[in-house]
Amino acid sequence: MIPADIRIIEEKDLHVGQSTLTGESEPVKKLSTSTLSSINDIKDVSDLDTICFMGTNVVSGSAKGVVIKTANDTYFGKIAGVLEHGKPKTAFQKGIENISKLLIRFMLVMIPITFLVNVWKHSVLITFTFSVAIAIGITPLLLPVILSSSLAKGAIRMSKKKTIVKKMDSIQSFGAMNILCTDKTGTLTKDEIVLQKYLDVNGNENYGVLKHAFLNAYFQTGLKGNIDTAIIDKANEMDMDNISTNYKKIDEIPFDFSRRRLSIVVSDGTKTQLITKGAVEEILSICTLVYDNGNVTEITPKIKENIRNFTKKLNSDGLRVIAVCQKNDISGISNFSVKDESKMVLMGFIGFLDPPKESAKQAIDRLNEKGIRVIVLTGDNEYVTKCICDKVGINSSRIISGNKISKLPDMALLRLLYDTNILVKLSPIEKARIVRLLKEAGNVVGYMGDGINDSPSLTNADVGISVDTAVDIAKETSDIILLEKDLNVLLDGAIEGRKTFANLLKYIKMAVSFNFGEVLSVLIASIVLPFLPITPIQLLVQSLLYDFGQLSLPFDNVDAEYVTKPRKWNLKDLRNFMFFMGPTSSIFDLMVFASLWFGFGLRLPESALFQTIWFSYGVVSNLIGLHIIRTAKMPFVQSNASTPVYATSILLSIVALIVPFTFIGKWIGLVPFAPIYLVVIIGFPILYCFIASFVKKLYIRKYGEWI
């Protein structure tokens, strides 16, 4: 492991793994003298071939170097520095803060108004306690409880969808996410190399090429890489594994990163062959002949150029290509070495692909249908990424490379991001910058990653998503952990997040609008009536009762239409809802006051009965109104609440009717009432359902949505 940023001054076959920084699995050769012709060749700081970076590791070779940066000043330290600042506030946290500020402002306004309009009729103490009760009444008393229980219930539901919630307040951000930034490998692809093609130099499928590649992979004794495994798997699939029994291994020339090829010597008893496979350019450099349609001919510059164009085309199809060659004229050699890899016959090519997951295209389509745009941020090259993205349905008409991004100001890059879904050859810092810019543009951004190099982006995102097989630092900085690296699992979790937010928003809109309406009507009645329409203690108990009725909302059903698109906090929408539906309920409250005053003739001597009727009516109307507010559809017909919601609504409505006949009712100043008053207590809430349903349609027509 390299402990600092180091300038190489001496080296021998030094190859360094930089996957922690770039995500690229292939080792990079480091030199004491740069091969870069100019500064324009540097697309990213990780391209510097004379610098070894802290946090990377030596794969092979040796070197001496001079330390140039240590600790926080290193490139790795700059990445770690992003994490030190902590995660910025999420949209959910900002939304809760804004709601709290709104409620505090109303409280500060309502207390002096209520006190001033009543102090001339009642004692200072009664007026003050009534004013405080009014202020408390406008506040959703059980907001912390509902908030915690909604998120906890949501986390349980999400765990059943293979989605583990680490940070509860990330559930809303997960549901509100409209952009998902993700890597390609393992998310869109299977993260396994598969042999796709075995071709001769003319591009025709050739069994002999696969046979020679299989013998090379089967008999090599070094650590078998994913390429060797893919070759052997393909051979087994085609029942070629018995070929190995006909051959005997004679010798081997191991792979090294300077030659970038591996050779084995085998014999079938009649002839001995040297078979070599490796990078195309390195194989071409040792071949003087080519096997073409059964004939061995000399390789000309034109043939070499055609081969390069052909392999470039395979690369553009997303294939990683290696070449295979062999030599028969090796009689008399007993000890094979690198110098024997010469004057060989080029057989052909084998192409490998990390294929897309079978579920990826369907998952991308589902994400798009649910309003989530997928942006691929990868350290891989353009050709492979484009091929995979085309297969899974991600628009690849524009692809931006990391070297271009580094030269663009934020505003110019943001303009490109509006219609660019694929960004390649990115460093961790560039990924984090893209996530930050997308957030600043008003999007709710999710980032899915599982490596050390993903940590800055996981921190910058509204919701960081990782998998249970990720490295520790990625899991530590993420908010959500998927038990399966699959976009379908991610989407299922996001939908559960939307349901959780829907039930939370139901409570907030319901509580704020009803409480505002009740406070408004009580304030008006307290001005007009010679007595208080409800005492402070009765108002608090009443609020507590229907708040208890709303405790079941985290278990409520959510209309399918609601989860079709992301939802964000909108304080303006909350104010509109409060000022629209609050006065609607206030009108019915005032109608109840009028019916009790004029219809039933309840005057000052019967103030306790007046307050009792109002107490029971308030609880019943709120619990029935709950079913109007909880859905944009027609309640009880087009949309049904869950069993717990129905049960608590009925139970607490019965409690509200019974309390006046108990010692508790007597203790808070309530009195028994005659059955005739049930016309008011139950009749007006039922009437409210019909009128509120009409008002709901007007609201949806005006503002476009309900919850």
Q: Are the C-beta atoms of 344 and 274 separated by less than 8 Å?
A: yes
CA distance 121 to 118: 6
Residue that the structure tokens 């609607």 belong to: 584
- Token digits of residue 643: 């069993």
| CB-based burial label for 33 (10 Å; 0-12, 13-18, 19+) | exposed
CA neighbor of 23 nearest in space, from 490, 413, 449: 449
Q: Are the C-beta atoms of 464 and 480 separated by less than 8 Å?
A: yes
Note if 183 is an active site residue.
Answer: yes
CA neighbor of 426 nearest in space, from 409, 405, 398: 405
Separation in Å, CA 539 to CA 100, 129, 546, 610, 618:
21, 11, 11, 13, 9
Sheet containing strand 399-401, edge to edge, reads 163-165, 480-482, 463-467, 445-448, 179-182, 373-377, 422-424, 399-401
Q: In DSSP terms, which residues pair with 12 in a beta bridge?
A: 62
Q: Which helix (H) or strand (E) holds 253?
A: strand 248-256
How many CB atoms neighbour CB 483 within 10 A? 15
Q: Are the C-beta atoms of 704 and 499 separated by less than 8 Å?
A: no
Separation in Å, CA 313 to CA 309, 320, 349, 387:
6, 11, 13, 12
**At 169, is the secondary structure helix, strand, or coil?**
coil
Q: Are the C-beta atoms of 448 and 184 separated by less than 8 Å?
A: no
49, 169, 183, 556: the catalytic one is 183
CA distance 126 to 513: 26
CA neighbor of 462 nearest in space, from 569, 376, 560: 569
Q: Are the C-beta atoms of 474 and 454 separated by less than 8 Å?
A: yes
Residue 300: alpha-carbon gap to chain centroid: 53
DSSP assignment of 574-618, as one string? Answer: HHHHHHHHHHHHHHHHHHHHHIIIIIS---GGGHHHHHHHHHHHH
684-690: long-range pairs with CB below 8 Å, 24+: 684/588, 684/591, 684/592, 684/595, 684/617, 684/621, 685/617, 685/620, 685/621, 685/624, 685/625, 686/624, 687/588, 688/585, 688/588, 688/621, 688/624, 688/625, 688/628, 689/624, 689/625, 689/627, 689/628, 689/635
Separation in Å, CA 107 to CA 102, 136, 622:
9, 8, 21
CA distance 533 to 615: 9
Residue that the structure tokens 């993420």 belong to: 478
Residue that the structure tokens 């070197």 belong to: 63
Per-residue three-class SS string for 48-109: CCCEECCCCEEEEEEEEEEEEECHHHCHHHHHHHHHHCCCCCCHHHHHHHHHHHHHHHHHHH
Which amino acids are annotated catalytic? 183
